[in-house]
Structure 1
Amino acid sequence: MLLSPRRQPRAVSKVPYKVLDAPELADDFYLNLVDWGSANILGVGLGSSVYMWNAQTSKVNKLCTLDDDTVTSVSWIQKGTHLAIGTGKGLVQIWDAEKARRLRTMTGHIARVGSLAWNTHILTSGSRDRLIYHRDVRAPDQWLRKLVGHKQEVCGLKWNCEDGQLASGGNDNKLMVWDKLSETPLWKFSDHTAAVKAISWSPHQRGLLASGGGTADRRIIFHDTVKGSVINEIDTGSQVCNIAWSKNSNEIVSTHGYSQNQIVVWKYPSMTQVASLTGHTYRVLYLAMSPDGRTIVTGAGDETLRFWSTFGRRPGTREDGDNGGRLADLAVIR
């Protein structure tokens, strides 16, 4: 009987191709301090300042330093160079990063803003005050809708812009799905037994939402937000800090805390491990993906940002120049 050869899992480099020094990168599970924008610029919150690293040129620029406040979240608008910054005092600032100009400061929250998510001109903010605000950045009002649902800090927010659904995760172990600008959740999932920071919508399958639980939970759970049901779950063995779907393949990457501080690439739906990447000496609290979907950057309280070539290119796109060289050259964001 002829046996077809087993397909070998593709090789993923176990070494980051670039390491950046990031002094003062906070070791705080509830913050979201790293985001990679469509213009190929990485925004990073360090202490009271925001720095920008241009992935094309490797140049670092300081965007701003807050007066008597700290940066608790950063998020790029989907298309363009507007960057939203959440602060420790509960403010949301919007900056034109290209012109290095602050456009406006928005109020509403009375505690730190640890999560931000854009859906075109709607900017959504989540806070330790347990509230979620939808803001129309074109309108003069401070906010458009107030969402009351979580009983503790809101630590994860992700829009599914295709379907107009927002997923929110809280320190109350709840995952909620909100439809459009509705002030009542469409679904409330109570499956996790620890804080839900890690949230990601599949770009390949409608209504497929992945979420990850903290130290007391350790699971990645897959939800069907069309039916409001749980599809599958896997115990990862450690705190789940972030999740992101590959844009180019049916794979998912998760980053972890205690005890291995690892980064894992999984095949979906089998959830077989494609690769496990180690190197961070603190929990891997920050994760962002390059605009072309081939590279991820991870950040940790060890004050490093590490760049990994985790995913292939999208089928049908040509191979272009290497994204920054293969040597782990140490530069400083400052």
Structure 2
Amino acid sequence: MTARVLLAGATGVIGRALVPLLRARGHQVTALVREPSRAAGVELDDIVVADALDAGAVRAAVAAARPEVVVHQLSTLRGPAAEGLARTARLRTEGTAHLIAAAEAAGAERIVAQSIAFATAPRGGPVLTEDAPLHLDAPDPGWALTTRAVAELERRVLGTARLTGVVLRYGTLYGPGTRYHRDGAIGAAVARGRLPLPEPAAGVTSFLHVEDAARATVSAVEADTGGVFNVVDDDPAEAAVWLPEYARLLGAPPPRTVPAQLAERMLGWLTGYQLTAMRGAANDRVRQALNWKPATPSWRTRLAAD
């Protein structure tokens, strides 16, 4: 069944892949944007304008769109890392609250929200389910802020009384527009031999192509169930596996190794954590509940191809 969909974040990496898929399925897509000029080139049915952090503006914009489904893909990581994390945390807390209140007032039936699969605490096995605790006590202030904002987003989305809430915990995104594209920050660093490999490099990354993220979101829009779902590929990999292979695929020299205790100082806390301690995510639940599976089951086939 087709629906009127309000998409907040239509101009982002996932949003741009998502819009044509939704419209191809017959859904009417209205974008909620802060700057209309950023929607140039995106084939939408309509646009409403509001800053997600302005509750009144969001309420008016959502009322005008009259959505049946609200899709929350808001994040902003442009500019300095600390500023991007702080604003994204506000979008996940204040912005989510504004969207939910506006959606309820407008009579929407469903909300689908973006979260992250790698916010889990680094405890337990190498690959964790949705039931694993989040890393709320992370030692890095920026990551602690992020994981607490994720927890607040998920609590609000799953706790709304009038809407069916779906949380999609995407894996580490790659593909056009991401940091892992060959022209992105990570791709460029690997290509130039500037991303060293800690020793040992036991952190596990669960990757996800942006097209698969968009396909999972369509499934969530059209489903009749709610809950929290890891959306990742089938090939979680330790850094000792994926980083040298990524370098090989890019035609770059093998990454040089450094002692693990130096990784944080050289790479920053979050990258060092990803390479040494992060856990991967299992996708069994989303396969069963939303009848989704990745069209790209392994990062190995497309990580360097786009």
TM-score normalised over the length of structure 1: 0.27
Q: Kindly indicate which of the two structures has a greater share of residues assigned to helix.
A: 2
TM-score by length of 2: 0.29
